Structure 1
Amino acid sequence: MQTARLCSRQTCKREATVTLTYSYADSTAVIGPLSEHREPHAYDLCDLHAEQLTAPQGWQVVRVPSRPRPYSGA
């Protein structure tokens, strides 16, 4: 059984919902769907911290929409 991944921010206990990566060559922070596996050079974030993320002056933040979750049906 796989456990939920937590937000990478210190002291945050929320479940991660997105993955943040940086493209230093392009001065870009990219927030996209949660990667399937932990990546050593990426950061998993919860919704709150993803929304609050800002980039340094001269950088841009690109937000890639998350994939729709499969319908579980009832």
Structure 2
Amino acid sequence: MLDRPCTKVGCSREAVSTLTYDYADSMAVLGPLSLAKEPHTYDLCAIHAERLSVPQGWQVIRHQVLNT
């Protein structure tokens, strides 16, 4: 793992997902943890990724890695 903490205030769990917002399209994209920390993205632990909520009218896109 890349050993990055969750960016939610007060959370010290290890991040497992990266969240990106696309304001123009009213969309939130949640995917696997990015390889590098990027500005304007948010790294989330499993609990906060699962509890993700967005404003009414927004769409959430969840990308998952399939293990074969």
TM-score by length of 2: 0.90
Greater Rg by CA: 1
Runs of 4+ off more than 2 Å:
none
* Structure 1 residue ranges without an equivalent (≥5): 69-74
1:5-64 CA deviation, whole Å, 9 max, x = no partner? 000001101000000000111100000011000001100000000000011011011100
Partners of 1:64 and 1:25 in 2: how far apart?
20
User: Any stretches of 5+ residues in structure 2 without a counterpart?
Assistant: none
Q: What RMSD in Å do the two structures reach over aligned CA positions?
A: 1.6
| 1:66 Cα offset (Å) | 3.0
* Residue identity in the other structure for 2:6: C
Tell me the equivalent position of 1:19: 18
Q: Distance in 2 between matches of 1:49 and 1:9?
A: 8
> Residue 47 of structure 2: SS of its match in structure 1?
helix
Number of residue pairs matched by the alignment: 67
Identity over aligned pairs, percent: 58
TM-score by length of 1: 0.83
